[in-house]
Structure 1
Amino acid sequence: MAALCEWHDWLEHLAEWFEAYPLAPETLTADRILWERAARNLILQVADRTGAESGWYGHCQQVLGWFLSYWGVAPELAERLAQQAIGSRFKSWTAPDTVLAEDIAERLVGPLRPQDTHWSPDPIDLPDHLECWLAVRESVPWPDDEDSADGGPTTPARDGAAADFRSFDAAVDPARAAGLLTALELVRADAARGAALDFELLRGWQQHVLDTPEPPRLRAHPAFAKGGKERYGIGPETRTRLDACLAQAADSRLSLAARTARAYLDVCFFHPFDDGNARSALLTLLFVLARAGVTLDSVVLIRRFGHRADDPQDALSLCRSVEFHLRQSRAAAR
């Protein structure tokens, strides 16, 4: 039973890593380096988890195949690419260094082409998940302030967001981490000066997240996420509706956890940018907390799990995760 529980925990951990940096198969060519970094990190995770014991590379090959299949590559092709990439280059009782892991990741992703994926059903068959979210948003029984123990300003010794950027994001790409840290400084400066939360504010942060010459514009086309299973529509009123939703993050009738969770999901499902929306959502959440004088000592449960646009329980689950981190941060600050 213990072994079964350990295996279950490992599979859940892998699923979190697969979703940690959602990949878009239709932009495989442009984002190839991100696919490679994700694969490299999985190799290092497997080596660490197995202790690089006898035959550990067999499981590594299996995990890389799962990774490609998860993002739409046919299982047979995924298995063949993983086998060819690893070959006989890994050894028992020897963990790979970063250089070798990167080379294997490049060999894994290099032969892939967008047409190798079957990531999305026909968009015509998909509902508009932005509209689904807006309906769900009104039905969720968000906790109100009277039932909350928000506890006022909180500054723990550890800055959880900055720490996660320096570890988790830096492992993907040091430039990515640097952009997030710069954006985080701007988020907190904007909160301190009492800036209104709207799309224009998000654009300023996103310029650093994506390292673009100018603040990025609102996307012009429907967007897809979760391997093409969710579609977010676009229309002439999208920006106005987003701004109206974000403005509600200042509604003190709701608990702080509810306001931050709802704003996070607003950005996720309005999906305003062509890239980096999960990072934008996290920065939005951190801004709402910063306006209340709160710094979290961890953001792990917030970042590592995806959420469905059409599920009220997912929204409440995120709210509970934020509340958990708030309690932990207050305890750490004492």
Structure 2
Amino acid sequence: MLEWFLSRWGVGADDAEHLVARAIGGRFESWTGPDPVLVEDIAERLAASVRPDAHIRAAEPPLPDHLERWLAVRETVPWHKAQNSSGDGPVTPARDGAAEEIRAFDATLDPARGQGLLTALELMRADAARGARLDFDLLQSWQRHVLATPGPPPLRSLPAFAKGGLERYGIGPDTRGCLDACLTESANDPTWPLPLTARAARAFLDVCFFHPFDDGNARSALLTCLFVLAREDVALDNVRLLRRVSFQADEPQDALTLAGYIDLHLRETRRRTADPAS
């Protein structure tokens, strides 16, 4: 509706889409209507964007490629310093934290969405049990159920955006090969040992910032992280911090923060498994 309004007053379709996206900024909750204060704020933003100098802002340079930024940051993160409580053997929690989270959140939003993600979760765990190689083909096999598509969803063919349009992820002929190479590094390598929590966090962020699919990338990232853990016989009784916090492509500390969250859930899972009454 806002784009139509701008088009009615002579703003080009592409510019209208850009201006509305910036005005809204991802602030609508998907299950509620906007309150009056939010509506007024968006109206003010939109009005300011069509002032006489609006054509100057419409000509702003495109966002930098945050996938490129992530790949640069990825090489500088001191992954070996990640907190790690996984060295005491397998972890089998008393309750299935991932499945409980899906039923409480995804299935509440949409029962079909919840069921699709639960199906993908079971498939992911079977793949982990057989020691499958983590690559884009494996992600596709899970994402088919996440998105309920008739076939494996393809790699996106256009730049992707996230965080209200503040991050942009480019695409090129080498994107898939680069993604596969990054995901391969999630396996334990005796020649360059890294903590399991670091490898799980890095794979999670790889999927977030490669953003391989047109939709459902956050769910794909969660499955990827859990796969890296499950392949080494580690499961969690809570995954909430892995879904409630946003991470930045160009912030090295965010990567270690995520590894710390994984470690926190791991430590708490061990504690509650040893003492179910706690």
Classify the TM-score, shorter chain: 0.7 to 0.9
* Distance apart, 1:130 and its partner CA: 0.3
**Per the alignment, in what secondary structure is the counterpart of residue 39 of structure 1?**
coil
Alignment partner of 1:246 out of 161, 183, 199? 183
> Does 2:37 match 1:74?
no
**Aligned residue for 2:93?**
156
**Per the alignment, in what secondary structure is the counterpart of residue 233 of structure 2?**
coil
Distance 1:126 1:192, change over 3 A: same
Higher helix share goes to which structure? 1
Higher relative contact order (CA 8 A, sep 6+): 2
> Does 2:218 match 1:278?
yes
**Per the alignment, in what secondary structure is the counterpart of residue 80 of structure 2?**
coil
**Aligned residue for 1:232?**
169
> Does 2:115 match 1:178?
yes
Query: Which amino acid is the alignment partner of residue 150 of structure 2?
Result: P
**Aligned residue for 2:271?**
331
Query: Which amino acid is the alignment partner of residue 131 of structure 2?
Result: G
**Structure 1: gaps spanning 5 or more residues:** 1-24, 29-34, 44-59, 79-119
Paired with 1:300 and 1:170, the residues of 2 have a C-alpha distance of 15
Alignment partner of 2:63 out of 106, 126, 148? 126
Paired with 1:303 and 1:121, the residues of 2 have a C-alpha distance of 34
RMSD of aligned Cα (Å):
2.7
Query: Which amino acid is the alignment partner of residue 94 of structure 2?
Result: A
Stretches of 4+ aligned residues off by more than 6 angstroms: 120-123
**Per the alignment, in what secondary structure is the counterpart of residue 224 of structure 1?**
strand
Deviations 1:145-182 (A, max 9, x none): 9x743122101111111000001111211111100000
* Distance apart, 1:202 and its partner CA: 0.1
TM value normalised by structure 1: 0.66
**Per the alignment, in what secondary structure is the counterpart of residue 139 of structure 1?**
coil
Paired with 2:252 and 2:35, the residues of 1 have a C-alpha distance of 37
Q: Share of identical aligned residues, percent?
A: 59
**Per the alignment, in what secondary structure is the counterpart of residue 186 of structure 2?**
helix
* Distance apart, 1:124 and its partner CA: 3.8
Distance 1:174 1:136, change over 3 A: same
Aligned length, in residue pairs? 237
**Aligned residue for 2:35?**
61
> Does 2:235 match 1:295?
yes
**Structure 2: gaps spanning 5 or more residues:** 1-16, 21-26, 47-56
**Aligned residue for 2:128?**
191
Deviations 1:229-260 (A, max 9, x none): 11101011000000000000003411111000
**Per the alignment, in what secondary structure is the counterpart of residue 208 of structure 1?**
helix
Paired with 1:166 and 1:306, the residues of 2 have a C-alpha distance of 21
Paired with 1:310 and 1:287, the residues of 2 have a C-alpha distance of 25
TM value normalised by structure 2: 0.78
